[in-house]
Amino acid sequence: MRIFSFSPFGYEGSLVSVEVDLRRGIPAVDIVGLADGAVKESRERMRSAITNSGFEFPAERVLISLSPADLKKEGAGFDLAVAVAVLGAKENSRETNEDDSMWTAESPEDTGDSVLVMGELELNGNIRPVRAVHAAVCTACAGGIRKCIVPEANAEEAREVSGMRVFGAQTLSEAFCALNDSKAFTQKERSGSSNALAGIPEGSVNIEGVLFAPVSPELDFKEVRGQTKLIRALQIAAAGGHNILAYGPPGCGKTLCMQRFPSIIPLLTPDEAQSVTRIYSIAGLLPHNSPSVRTAPFRQPHQTATIEGMCGGGPKCTPGEISLAHNGGLFLDEAAEFRTSVLQMLRVPLETASITLSRAGRTSVFPADFQLLMSTNPCPCGNYGSTDKLCLCSARAVEQYWKKFSSPLLDRIELRVRADNNAGENTKGVSSEELRVQVARAVSAQRKRQGKRNSKLNASEIVKFCRCTDGAKKILNEAQEKLGFSPRAASLCMKVARTVADMSEKFCIDEECMQEAVDFRKAEGNALTDMGML
């Protein structure tokens, strides 16, 4: 029997083989294989747990090897694997009864019968849940391991991985007894295919084949009065996965609208949910009662967030906010108050949809395919461009305020909206259910046509899928000449126009769709245009 555990580092992590050798000598427990403090302390937890569970701790000298030897082992998740391996070695020594022999918990020749074991031990033998179980089981399954023993609290999380047989243990005794009992391992029954509808919130609705979570009353757009243009931009952003920037005076409703954005985002597909669930499992943020993440993430970090907090890192190379927002939205409220270095760090992940982290000689690549939503004031005092209030900021102050964003970052934002205090304040609010209809229509069309969101189309796919009428091409060409659109800006306009056309069930992009995309891009009559940043 080969016993494996898992060392979480970055997005990938590594499987760790656990070997135990019982030999003559002064009774002691030695752990080799670059174990950190938490892993070395497992010697005492493991000894007490074995004794308090009714087993006899080996009287020989115990050598525990964690391989590969040059990989640093971190965390308390090795406790159960080490304890089970020690008990297996003790049992093997009784069966062989050869005093001069060396016993190990695994036979190097036997590679077919392997098991993944994870869990933290209490002194009384109970097993505590650990993080990164989903990631560990996925890695083990990819490596050909089909059985795992995990804490009962993590069992459903492990069963979400197709093809893995799982035993959820509450105590060390249960885990050791199950080790040689193949009937104790079970896997989740799946109806139809591996794309089972796991983790879908109760009350979710299906609109044209696209699933949406139930609308929370406090996040319903019907509570918003006015800001019709901003709500329209958010609807387009949800339909095509586009980035958006809203700017306007304080109190006009920018944050109010942005925080309701999750109510019109579709649920994740099973394929999208796999990577999101793995990230949240690694970060230790996966709820025990929700083994799979199907709701699109929506992260709202504070303005004091550091580069490490946003992009990830630390001793264990844990995911940052942009990875936690993978396949969802990252909302930066009062974006101009974030550090300039933090804002500029977003530029590459917005293009590559991933981020590469290097820590202590090791490299890990986290997915970071997120939508960027930003809201900010037009100037430090907030009154620039207002018709009824006086702006007290100098031209230099306004320029410095907007230079925190930089043109390369703003050039990657497809939708720019100015929100005013009197922007349709008497108009009736539109509910999230009504907004979802066009979003679902567009998402369904994109999935059938190209299998991804319009915002992710590359140059060749834009030519193939974004067919325009002659009038639409003329509008875009004029915008490039008169407004100085960059090639990137022109391609982003094409993507937004394609989304608008999908929302209206139009095969080709017509003049109306292109004009709306250009209008959201140019955002004329504001501080950004005056400074030549848009």
pLDDT digits (tens, 9 = 90+) for 454-494: 999 999 999 999 999 999 999 999 999 988 888 999 999 99
Please give the Cα distance from 350 to 78 (Å, whole number).
37
pLDDT number for residue 422: 66
For residue 94, the model assigns a pLDDT of 72
So what's the pLDDT on residue 198?
Answer: 60
pTM summary value: 0.90
Largest CA distance in the chain: 93
- The pLDDT assigned to 385 comes to 77
- Percent helix, strand and coil across the chain, each to the nearest 5: 40, 20, 40
pLDDT at 103: 40
Locate 115 and state its tokens: 């098991």
What is the predicted pLDDT for the residue at 203?
Answer: 87
Alpha carbon 147 to chain centroid distance?
Answer: 26
pLDDT digits (tens, 9 = 90+) for 226-275: 889 999 999 999 999 999 999 988 888 899 999 999 999 999 999 999 99
Complete domains list, the chain, with CATH: 2-184 (3.30.230.10), 205-530 (3.40.50.300)
pLDDT at 315 over 90: no
In the predicted model, what is the mean pLDDT of the chain? 88
Nearest CA to 100 among 60, 148, 137, 135? Answer: 60
Question: At residue 288, does pLDDT exceed 90?
Answer: no
Who contacts 497 (Cβ-Cβ below 8 Å, separation ≥6)? Answer: 466, 468, 472, 509, 513, 514, 516, 517
What is the spatial distance between Cα 534 and Cα 521, in angstroms, rounded to a whole number? Answer: 8
Per-residue pLDDT for 141 more than 60?
Answer: yes
pLDDT tens, position by position, 343-399: 999 999 999 999 999 877 788 999 999 999 999 999 998 888 777 788 888 889 988
pLDDT at 100 over 70: no
Query: Which secondary structure element, helix H or strand E, spans residue 500, and what is its range?
Result: helix 487-503
Amino acid at 10: G
d(CA 105, CA 85): 5
pLDDT value of position 526: 47
> 71: pLDDT confidence band, cut at 50, 70 and 90?
confident
Q: What is the dihedral of CA 339, 343, 346, 351, to 10 degrees?
A: -160
